[in-house]
């Protein structure tokens, strides 16, 4: 297995692993260690059926379904993410930590490319640990005392129906207050806990009072030197650690925006309720 850093701040490409077959205990442990080191892993040229996608994911942790979308027929733990050619709004197009509005956010996700355009539809990732470490000592001390309010419905624009997806209706709105700094349960590293799609104000303050503060944190965390941009290719799989990163899908389908004739993009996603620890992986092996 060959692991190559993808950028100086976040991500690594992994070669020499066939995810369609059961992984050995040594390879599983190496993938887990690489994920903790690099936060996002990119595996290209993987031939995966939905069943194999789920089987691979279950080797790394416990899965959960996505609350706002029905799962794939036959594989309910897979969420199908679809952008149709006449749509220019992507699912997950703003910077976010997956489901940060829940009391306990998922540990991560594995996203697999089923249908990818020749260009466009890339995904950005940012390292929230590095973003925290690059703040001044005084600012870090200030953040340690603060909490943010996350809302599952904040600023949702229902104009765009996401016609290619099987979105649920009537889901329950969720509010949760989280510390602005969180500690990774495995590495012990501290990181920012911001999620601009859902984190809309500071606890104990109004939204107007919070605005300048939150805008600074988003601008700081998404500086180019803290991020990477992944260009999808057919059959690529991306595995990320939701406990220390943010990501967003880029909305760059100008054909759809200008004339209603753009590209189609289809991804399959499994969501990890939690990753297994080193000790659990060793015991399973």
User: Residues 93-125: pLDDT tens digits?
Assistant: 899 999 999 999 999 999 999 999 999 999 999
| Cβ contact 71:226 at 8 Å | no
**Average pLDDT, rounded, for the chain:** 94
26 SS3 class:
helix
| Amino acid 168: pLDDT | 76
Q: Which residues contact 183 (CB under 8 A, 6 or more apart)?
A: 189, 190
| Cβ contact 81:113 at 8 Å | no
* Mean pLDDT value across residues 131-142: 97
For 254, the enclosing helix (H) or strand (E) is helix 254-259
The model's pTM = 0.95
High-pLDDT (> 70) share of the chain, %:
97
DSSP letter string, 212-231 = HHHHHHHHHHT-GGGEEEEP
Number of independent structural domains in the chain = 1
Residue range(s) defining the domain that contains residue 261: 2-284
- Sign of the dihedral defined by the CA atoms of residues 115, 118, 124, 125, in that order: positive
Q: What is the pLDDT of residues 233-264, one digit of tens each?
A: 999 999 999 999 999 999 999 999 999 999 99
- Sign of the dihedral defined by the CA atoms of residues 214, 216, 220, 224, in that order: positive
Q: What is the DSSP letter of 164?
A: T
Report phi then psi at 4, rounded to 5.
Answer: -125, 125
Q: What is the Cα–Cα distance from 179 to 45, expressed in whole angstroms?
A: 39
CATH of the domain at 271: 3.60.130.10
């Amino acid at each position: 297995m060959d692991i190559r850093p993808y950028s100086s701040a976040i991500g690594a490409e992994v070669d020499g692993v066939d995810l369609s077959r059961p992984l050995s205990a040594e390879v599983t442990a190496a993938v887990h260690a690489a994920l903790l080191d690099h936060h996002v892993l990119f595996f290209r040229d993987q031939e995966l059926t939905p069943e194999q996608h789920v089987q691979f994911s279950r080797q790394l942790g416990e899965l959960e379904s996505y609350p706002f979308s029905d799962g794939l027929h036959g594989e309910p733990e897979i969420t199908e993410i679809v952008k149709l050619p006449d749509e220019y709004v992507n699912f997950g197009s703003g910077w976010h930590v997956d489901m940060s509005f829940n009391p306990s956010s998922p540990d991560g996700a594995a996203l697999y490319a089923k249908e990818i355009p020749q260009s466009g539809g890339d995904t950005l990732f940012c390292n929230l640990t590095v973003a925290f470490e690059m703040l001044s000592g005084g600012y870090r001390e200030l953040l340690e005392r603060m909490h943010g309010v996350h809302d599952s419905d904040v600023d949702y624009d229902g104009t765009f129906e996401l016609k290619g997806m099987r979105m649920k209706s009537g889901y329950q709105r969720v509010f949760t207050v989280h510390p602005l700094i969180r500690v990774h349960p495995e590495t012990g590293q501290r990181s920012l806990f911001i999620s601009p799609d859902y984190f809309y104000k500071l606890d104990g303050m109004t939204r107007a009072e919070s605005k300048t503060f939150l805008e600074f944190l988003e601008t700081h965390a998404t500086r180019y030197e803290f991020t990477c941009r992944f260009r999808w290719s057919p059959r690529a799989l991306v595995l990320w650690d939701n406990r220390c990163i943010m990501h967003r899908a880029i909305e760059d389908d100008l054909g759809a925006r200008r004339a209603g004739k753009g590209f189609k993009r289809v991804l399959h996603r499994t969501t990890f309720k939690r990753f297994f620890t080193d000790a659990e992986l060793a015991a399973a092996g």
